[in-house]
Amino acid sequence: MIQFAGHSTAFDRALSLMPGGVNSPVRSFAAVGGAPVFIERAEGAWLESVDGRQLIDLVGSWGAAILGHGHPAVRDAIRAQSENTVSIGLASPRESDLAEEIIARVPSVQRVRFVNSGTEAVMSALRLARHVTGRRRIVRFEGGYHGHADALLSGAGSGVSTLGLDGEEYDATSDVTILPYNDIDAVKRVFDRIGAEIAGVILEPISGNMGVVPGDHPWLRALRNLTRRSGSVLIFDEVMTGFRVADGGAQSLLGVHADLTTLGKVIGGGLPVGAFGGSADLMDQIAPAGPVYQAGTMSGNPLTMAAGLAALRALDESAYAALERAGKRLQAGLEQAIQDSGFTACVQRQGSMLTLFPGLARVQSFSDANLVNRRQFSRFFHAMLRRGVHLPPSPHEAWFVSLAHDDEIIDAIVDAAAASLRELRDLSTKETTS
């Protein structure tokens, strides 16, 4: 592994205390080399490192920070709620506040259960799908990431693919069928053969965890029709896309509705959260309304509920219009920089999430995404970091723009990218001529 930067004191300390020095592998710089930047403060679109560097943030708490860091409405909500309750482990009206907001805005959700992470939301949704169908088999897609439950890691995107792990050793069950993303024929073949065994199909309707790869509309419609016909549960994992790509998530944007939806990230206003929801019929199978057990000591805790509600209330029509404008400006700037540098790369975007894939012209599936030039990405990542822009340290992640990324900040990112791409081009010219 190429070391780009010396280990920092903060990283050395963390390394001696936590595996790899981090509490989630996607935070490590394992894929790009060097020591992660340790952050002391975050405000708007900016991060401040422990050594006082100001960096433009495109990680955005992996999508949660859609309003920008430390948004006053969210801060105030957390502060005010903390005066009343922090954690009670009992019912509070704050749960209904956020539930009402979500149910009003996500087309296919009539009832919701809050949990503490996206991983939990997906595990619970799968259990529910298996219960209501009386079947075991789950269909999922290469490059999708649905949390770190055993059965869902094989062929997963996000940190699993970033670190070059295939997740196979964790594939604790043979009840999971993994198909290529955006491949209608593969899905049809499986449903022809074993449709009656399939409890649920889970997917990111717009993938963010192999980088941004939108699901093709005909493929999504085929999934909707096939699951309906075979009595399987269609599960949209919108932990990333929910309230990110549009009000109500990918399903309101695409007009294809799921039976169950998992949420997370944005709906917690930056605090730990997950949720799953669907029709009242389905959701009322969950305990104590029904027999499917699902529980959590901290679930629906009032601080998270208050922060989430403040965030969702700030996400009105004009906010989504502004996010779209910012994403579009960034994409256009990056594409111009790519063209000017003569570098091969493509930019794929949905709203305020976007990925630049070095070495590729178009990405529609995980096998495409895996052809990304990882070495060039690592160089690009560090070239950007030197210029004060913190990207997600992986070629298989989305970059997240927030409402705090104004034109000036977007243009600064584009300028940094143009200079970084020129640097990369000069480097590779030198390498091929020497």
Ligand X SMILES: *Cc1c(COP(=O)(O)O)cnc(C)c1O
Q: Which is nearer to ligand X, 244 or 374 (CB)?
A: 244
**81: Cβ contacts below 8 Å, ≥ 6 apart:** 94, 302, 303, 305, 306, 307
Q: Strands of 46-49's sheet, edge to edge?
A: 39-43, 46-49, 54-57, 389-390
Q: Which stretch binds ligand X (CB under 6 A): 117-125, 287-295, 365-373, 406-414?
A: 117-125
Show the binding pattern over residues 72-111: x = contacts ligand X (CB under 6 A), - = does not: ----------------------------------------
Q: Which stretch binds ligand X (CB under 6 A): 15-23, 118-126, 325-333, 386-394?
A: 118-126
CA geometry: angle 130, 131, 136, nearest 5 deg = 30
Cβ-closest residue to ligand X? 118
Q: Which is nearer to ligand X, 119 or 364 (CB)?
A: 119
> Which of 145, 58, 43 has its CA nearest to residue 354?
58
C-beta neighbour count of 91 within 10 angstroms: 9
276 binds ligand X (CB under 6 A): no
What is the rounded (10 degree) CA torsion for 300, 306, 309, 315? Answer: -130
244 binds ligand X (CB under 6 A): no
Task: Report in angstroms the alpha-carbon separations of 94 from 64, 78, 110.
Answer: 19, 12, 17
396 binds ligand X (CB under 6 A): no
- Binder of ligand X out of 215, 274, 302, 333 (CB under 6 A): 274
- Amino acid at residue number 324: E
Using CB under 6 A as the binding rule, the residues of this chain from 131 to 150 that contact ligand X are: 145-147
The question of whether 265 is a catalytic residue gets the answer: yes
Q: Based on the number of CB atoms within 10 Å of its own CB, is 239 exposed (0-12), middle (13-18) or buried (19 or more)? A: buried
| Selected catalytic residue, list 237, 259, 320, 368 | 237
117 binds ligand X (CB under 6 A): yes
211 binds ligand X (CB under 6 A): no
Task: Tell the smallest beta-carbon distance from residue 431 to ligand X (Å).
Answer: 36
270 binds ligand X (CB under 6 A): no
Q: Based on the number of CB atoms within 10 Å of its own CB, is 376 exposed (0-12), middle (13-18) or buried (19 or more)? A: buried
Q: Which is nearer to ligand X, 145 or 357 (CB)?
A: 145
Q: Which is nearer to ligand X, 69 or 146 (CB)?
A: 146
Q: Are 277 and 261 in contact (CB under 8 A)?
A: yes
376 binds ligand X (CB under 6 A): no
Show the binding pattern over residues 191-210: x = contacts ligand X (CB under 6 A), - = does not: -------------x---xx-
The question of whether 188 is a catalytic residue gets the answer: no
CA geometry: angle 316, 318, 320, nearest 5 deg = 75
Task: Report in angstroms the alpha-carbon separations of 286 from 114, 124, 129, 295.
Answer: 12, 9, 11, 10
What is the rounded (10 degree) CA torsion for 356, 357, 360, 363? Answer: -90
- Binder of ligand X out of 21, 25, 118, 155 (CB under 6 A): 118
Residues labelled as active-site residues: 145, 237, 265
Contacting residues toward ligand X, per CB under 6 A: 117-119, 122, 145-147, 204, 208-209, 237, 239-240, 264, 274
